[in-house]
Amino acid sequence: MTTTSAGPRRALVVRSVVVPVVLVAALLLLGHTLSITNVLTLEEVLGLAVFAAATNLLLGYGGLVSFGQAAFYGSGAYLVGLSWLHHWMPFWAAFVLTPVAGGVIALAMGAIALRTRRLYFALLTLAFSELFFQLVNVRYDFTKGATGIFSVSMIPASLASPRTGYYFTAGVACVSLLILWKVTVSPFGLVLRATRENRERAEALGVSVYRHQLLAFVISGAFCSLAGALFVVWGQSTYPDLLNWTTSGQPLFMAVIGGMFAFLGPAVGALLYQFGYQYVTQHSHDWQLILGAALLLVVLFRPDGLAGVVSRQTWARLSRFARRAGRRGLPPEREPAAMETPIDGAGEAARVPGSPTP
Which of 200, 288, 331, 332 binds other proteins (CB under 8 A)? It is 200
* Min CB(265)–other proteins separation in Å: 15
Which residue's CB is nearer to other proteins, number 130 or number 348? 348
Helices (H), 236-304: 245-258, 265-283, 287-301
Among 136, 183, 232, 264, binds other proteins (CB under 8 A): 183
183 and 189 Cβ atoms separated by less than 8 Å: yes
Angle between helices 69-85 and 245-258 (to 10 degrees): 130
> Which CB sits closer to other proteins, 43 or 304?
304
Rounded alpha-carbon distances, angstroms, from residue 139 to 86, 143, 236, 281: 14, 6, 21, 33
CB-wise, 197 or 286, nearer to other proteins? Answer: 197
How many residues touch other proteins under the rule CB under 8 A: the total is 44
**115 is a site residue for other proteins (CB under 8 A):** no
Residue 319 binds other proteins (CB under 8 A): no
Q: Which positions ≥6 away from 280 have C-beta within 8 Å? A: 286, 287, 290
Rounded to the nearest whole angstrom, what is the least distance from the CB of residue 259 to other proteins in the complex? Answer: 14
Q: By CB under 8 A, is residue 187 in contact with other proteins?
A: yes
Amino acid at 198: N
Span near other proteins by CB under 8 A; candidates 1-9, 34-42, 85-93, 99-107: 1-9
Q: Smallest gap, in angstroms, from Cβ of residue 135 to other proteins?
A: 32
Under the criterion CB under 8 A, does residue 318 sit at the interface with other proteins? Answer: no
Between 203 and 286, CB nearer to other proteins: 203
83 neighbors 93 (Cβ within 8 angstroms): yes
11 binds other proteins (CB under 8 A): no
Rg (the chain; Cα; Å) = 22
> What phi and psi, each to the nearest 5 degrees, are found at residue 262?
-130, 140
Q: Which member of 24, 188, 294, 303 binds other proteins (CB under 8 A)?
A: 188
Q: Is 37 in the site for other proteins (CB under 8 A)?
A: no
Residue 205 near other proteins by CB under 8 A: yes
Q: Is 137 helix (H, G, I), strand (E, B) or coil?
A: helix
3-state secondary structure of 30: helix
Binding residue (CB under 8 A) for other proteins from 133, 193, 224, 240 = 193
| Residue 346 in the binding site for other proteins (CB under 8 A) | yes
- Would you say 250 and 287 are in contact if contact means Cβ atoms under 8 Å apart? no
d(C-alpha 150, C-alpha 106), whole Å: 26
- Residue 86 or residue 201: which is nearer to other proteins going by CB? 201
CA-to-CA distance for 192 and 210, rounded, in angstroms? 10
Do the beta carbons of residue 241 and residue 146 sit within 8 Å?
A: no
Least distance (Å) from other proteins to the CB of residue 270? 24
Q: Which stretch binds other proteins (CB under 8 A): 153-161, 206-214, 248-256, 282-290?
A: 206-214
Closest C-alpha among 74, 111, 327, 122 to residue 216? 111
Q: Which residues bind other proteins (CB under 8 A)?
A: 1, 5, 9, 12, 182-183, 185-191, 193-194, 197-198, 200-209, 211-212, 215, 338-339, 341-347, 349-350, 352, 354-355
